[in-house]
Structure 1
Amino acid sequence: MNKTELVSAMAEKADVTKKDAEKVLGAFIDVVGDALKKGDKIQLVGFGTFETRERAAREGKNPQTGEKIKIAACTVPAFKAGKALKDLIAK
């Protein structure tokens, strides 16, 4: 599902216009991004948790040349699914 399909599904489910659904989705993405940028964690009970994790510096390999390169430490976004979401998709 891409963004356009998600907006359409949200609009239909919430009985709002696609324009309003797109605004809400955009606001959600902005708020999550801003919170993660500040180092905050967002917990949506039953759905999951958006957070940041520290990735340590490591050594990698250039796939074209095989040369070893150093990869700097960085902060990456992460999502951990909640129990209700896991149970929903479990078979």
Structure 2
Amino acid sequence: MTKADLIENVYLKTGFSKKESAEIVETVFDLMKDNLEKGEKIKIAGFGNFVVKDKATRRGRNPQTGDEIEISSRKILTFKPSQVLKAAINGGE
């Protein structure tokens, strides 16, 4: 599913115009992005949790040369689905 598909579904299910539906989807994504950039957790009941985690600097190896390299620290985004979502995906409720 793409962003355009999301906008189309919002348009069909709510009765808003396509322009309003696009603004709604964009606003939701912007809010999520802004909160994640601040390091805040997003918890959507019945769907799951989005969490930004820090990965420490670590040693790695270049697979082509075998040389050791340092992999810099960074932030990663993780998603953990809720039990409700897991059940829906697996055909249960």
Same fold at TM > 0.5: yes
Larger-gyration structure (1/2): 2
Say whether 1:36 aligns with 2:29: no
Letter matched to residue 48 of structure 2: G
Q: Tell me the equivalent position of 1:9.
A: 9
Aligned sequence identity (%) = 35
Which ranges in structure 2 are unaligned for 5 or more consecutive residues?
none
Q: What is the aligned length?
A: 91
- Residue in 1 that maps onto 2:56: 56
Gaps of 5+ in 1: none
In the alignment, the residues of structure 2 paired with residue 26 and residue 45 of structure 1 have an alpha-carbon distance, to the nearest angstrom, of 20
Alpha-carbon spacing, 1:23–1:65, altered in 2? closer, same or farther (3 Å): farther
Letter in 2 for 1:11: Y
Q: Normalising by the residue count of structure 1, what TM-score does the alignment of the two structures yield?
A: 0.82
Measure, in 1, the Cα distance between the counterparts of 2:49 and 2:64.
37
Establish whether residue 69 from structure 1 lines up as the match of residue 69 from structure 2.
Answer: yes
TM-score normalized by structure 2?
A: 0.81
